[in-house]
Structure 1
Amino acid sequence: MAHHNLAGVLRAKPTCPQELIDFILDKTDSADKGTLKSCALVARSFRPTSQKLIFSAVTILPPGCDSIPALERLADVLSSSPHLALHVRTLYLFQPGLNKPCEWMQSDMLPAILSMFINLESLNIQIYDWKRLASNCEQAIYALITRSSLSSIELKGARFRDTSLLPLLRCLPTSLESASFSDVFAARWSYRDDLQRASAELHKLRLASLHLDSFAPTLLHWAIRAVDLKCLQDLHTTVKEDTYDVVQQLLDSAVYVETYHLFFWDTFSNPENPDLGKMQCLRTLEISVVLNWEETEEVEGEDRDNPLDDAMRTLNTAPHSIEHLVLNLNIWNPDELSYFMEPVWDLGEDCPALWDVVVRIRSRYDDKSALQRGIRYLEGVFYRLHERGILTVIAVHPDE
């Protein structure tokens, strides 16, 4: 009887191809840091991919964190293992509260940390009060913005002093593909002359996506001067009475935009409405309107001005190429929809390509039956679309 020596076989450890390990780990949600940290401890072969995913997105610093100790821990990790900073592709910079002191914004450690993120692709900044930034921290953020690897930037909830916004806009690299400015405020009168003089210094940006939901007309003027509007495919703008003209300039030049979201910020009593007629490549149109019957203005000699009328007149200027329409109605009490909606409205007559319409009620009203009545009312208003089977009406409670 033959004897086989199995000792070597039993001592041999089973192996798995590294490609298969990497494939499995890549399927893990990069936001699930706990699972990824556990994976990094399983075996040496698990560590590189786990670390890459752990450090792919870094937040400095979310609300509730012990800011300085957390920043010190991050600095220690990157100091001992600087290669981990090369994995950072997305960075979030948060100020915890509108007026709450933020220690990391004054920290000497921050500039050194930011300088290590040389492969950054996406930068999200939510700093309300830029005056709280130490000068070296502010310069470090500007240096980060100039990275040639950067393809996306989002600036949200910012209040700029007179000398901050224009230098930031000058820093934007030509590598950007997407830019978003949401709830950004800057004094409008401070920049017109400066922006005109600085036009030669602004990089021409070939953005595919631009989001301008802002209180700063400066950003709209900047977009006209610095963005190649014929490259845009996705556009989001807020329109107010004092920004109508510059928004219209944007629309007239953004002729290849395929998706456009227009938000009417307040009652829009301008005798004209935005005209979408030159956007001949438009396929998806989203219009958002705030409806508050108590705040609608009474026009002299006429009924109250209905902000939804302005939205519908704008819709009537859209090209026949529209295929998808989303109408967001932000309203407190859905039972008041009848004050704004006219049963005679008929969407689709001049839009032969239209095959998908979503009307969304956004309301914090606690009465759920009112939401259901609102849905049924809208189905009656747009009954022809409802009969054709292309209408979807939904109610959204923001807390849910």
Structure 2
Amino acid sequence: MALPQELIDIVTDNIQNDPVTLKACSYAASSFRRSSQRHLFSRIKLLPPRSAKRSTPCEKFHEVLASAPHLASYVRCLEILEGYDTDGKPARNLPWIRSDRTLELVLPLLRLRRFSLHCTWPASLNISSLPGTLKAQFHDVLHSPTLASLSLGRIVFTPSNFHFYLDGCRSLKELTLSNVSVHSSLDVDDPETVESDALRAQLESLDVVESDGEVIDLLLSLQSPVDLRHLRTMSIYGYLDSLHLNDLVQRPRATLQHLGVWDPLGLVIGFDTTQHENLRSLFIAPLTSVAWTGLLQTCSPRLQQITFELPLDIFKFPQIATELAEALLCAELPHLCEVNVEVHPGYRSHIGSEPEQWTLLLESAFADFTARLTALSTIQAALQIKMIPERTTVKRWSLARPDEAQAKDEEDEDEGDEEDGYDEDLKGGVDVNEQEYWEGDVSQPGEKNDDDEIKEQHR
């Protein structure tokens, strides 16, 4: 007697974080096949080809969809990574988007909830240089009524095509702009027209990472393609002047719940959240003691959690901990119940050959800091010591650059590189060399997944 399909769906839903088991289920029986595929195909990442002589991952994925058209309906998240020109030198990440002719065939088949377009560091992708058909397809994807999340990295716009692509994205709720540039000088010959009467996207989440000032100007302008007044979560990393920073922070003051600011220039003294009646958590990095008193005196009284990321000058931590405790106790934050301190020890060259001894020193100083806080308040304190790496790679708070993550993925691929190919007799569908282009999304269609909840999922 066959199991009811409802039970099979429950089984696959409960193993959606386990791609190996899901793939095995897709071979088990036809009743398991589509239920497993629904999770396995929910997230697709199209990477640059390793060689000009090989088919691009997009070409292979198009062949998969041609042989099994129903799989297109399972794709909820599409991530596209462009390569870069190495001037003839050997490379793993070759540019492919401009020359590939299957991407414009794949995009119309999908009804995406999340879309990501990034270019491999150190290159950038000028959106105006794309073929006309592909630009039209990107426009249609961004204006799809199902698209809720958009992430752009190392993309170059003109003011006109910035509006062309983002005006009228009414369903968009999450926007990430990482190293995005807007060049007014390139706008002379741009053919796109602006939809001036389009309704603006009412964003709930905005991440701006090292994007230039013209991008911020467009976001804050009266003609901005997005409405910032409804944001619940905002993360800002970059060299912003105090006017830009204040304006960004103040726009969603009635709705903002979570705010993160990475502030290389030390402008945190300059923004005020006292009118943010719904602000619950605040993340500030890096922070010096000069800023603490002013910042904490202008925090929202509804604040419940603060996270500080301290600079690399680790040997001053005992003094810093004392000053921070005093500033927290002087602040009027009646709802504050949690303070997190993240300390970057830097690299082994910064702390000598005995990182364990430094860790003990840090933990001792933090114990004094915690005792000082808890003696006079109900605040709970937690310490997170960042790992001490051998090489010089600093990862920022949940916003590691996609190109860095991709570099790590490709290092792993070297260990098990195989020839591309098919097995046409697979019950789970067409088997493509999944390590070349495939990563699965563990989330259900329609769910938002945080960065730390996304795991690789191979077919």
Counterpart of 2:96 (choices 103, 114, 128) is 103
User: Deviation per CA, 1:220-257, whole angstroms, max 9, x where unpaired?
Assistant: 233333433331111112353x5321221222221121
Q: TM-score, normalised by structure 1?
A: 0.78
Match of 2:35 in 1: 49
Q: For the Cα contact (< 8 Å) 2:45–2:78, is it kept in 1?
A: yes
Structure with larger Rg = 1
Q: For the Cα contact (< 8 Å) 1:153–1:179, is it kept in 2?
A: yes
5+ residue gaps, structure 1: 1-13, 291-306
Q: Give the letter for the 1:390 counterpart.
A: Q
**Gap change, CA 1:340 and 1:201, over 3 Å in 2:** farther
Cα distance in 1, alignment partners of residues 49 and 259 from structure 2: 33
Cα distance in 2, alignment partners of residues 265 and 284 from structure 1: 20
Cα distance in 2, alignment partners of residues 55 and 351 from structure 1: 46
Q: Give the letter for the 2:237 counterpart.
A: T
Q: TM-score, normalised by structure 2?
A: 0.69
Q: For the Cα contact (< 8 Å) 1:130–1:159, is it kept in 2?
A: yes
Q: For the Cα contact (< 8 Å) 1:75–1:113, is it kept in 2?
A: yes
Within the alignment, does 1:248 sit opposite 2:246 as a pair? yes
Match of 1:278 in 2: 275
**Gap change, CA 1:308 and 1:113, over 3 Å in 2:** farther
Match of 1:11 in 2: none
Match of 1:125 in 2: 117
How many angstroms does 1:53 deviate by? 1.4
Cα distance in 1, alignment partners of residues 168 and 285 from structure 2: 29
User: Deviation per CA, 1:297-356, whole angstroms, max 9, x where unpaired?
Assistant: xxxxxxxxxx4523552232112111111111242x522446866637320431111111
How many angstroms does 1:370 deviate by? 1.9
SS at match of 1:41: helix
Aligned CA RMSD, in angstroms, stands at: 3.3
- The 5-angstrom pairing of residues 84-233 of structure 1 reads 84-96=71-83, 100-117=93-110, 119-128=111-120, 129-131=124-126, 134-135=130-131, 136-156=133-153, 158-160=154-156, 162=158, 166-167=162-163, 169-170=165-166, 173-187=169-183, 200-201=196-197, 203-224=199-220, 225-233=224-232
**Gap change, CA 1:183 and 1:379, over 3 Å in 2:** farther
Q: For the Cα contact (< 8 Å) 1:308–1:340, is it kept in 2?
A: yes
Within the alignment, does 1:29 sit opposite 2:16 as a pair? yes
Aligned length: 360
Percent same amino acid among aligned pairs?
A: 19
User: Deviation per CA, 1:233-289, whole angstroms, max 9, x where unpaired?
Assistant: 11112353x532122122222112111111102354x9x612222212211111111
Q: For the Cα contact (< 8 Å) 1:343–1:380, is it kept in 2?
A: no
Within the alignment, does 1:60 sit opposite 2:54 as a pair? no
SS at match of 1:26: helix
How many angstroms does 1:171 deviate by? 5.0
Cα distance in 2, alignment partners of residues 189 and 391 from structure 1: 50
Match of 2:380 in 1: 390
User: Deviation per CA, 1:353-392, whole angstroms, max 9, x where unpaired?
Assistant: 1111101112332323323323433444565325455111
Cα distance in 1, alignment partners of residues 112 and 18 from structure 2: 17
Within the alignment, does 1:357 sit opposite 2:350 as a pair? no
Cα distance in 1, alignment partners of residues 51 and 358 from structure 2: 40
Counterpart of 1:335 (choices 315, 318, 325) is 315
How many angstroms does 1:93 deviate by? 0.8
Structure with higher RCO (Cα < 8 A, 6+ apart) = 2
SS at match of 2:358: helix
Q: For the Cα contact (< 8 Å) 1:30–1:56, is it kept in 2?
A: no
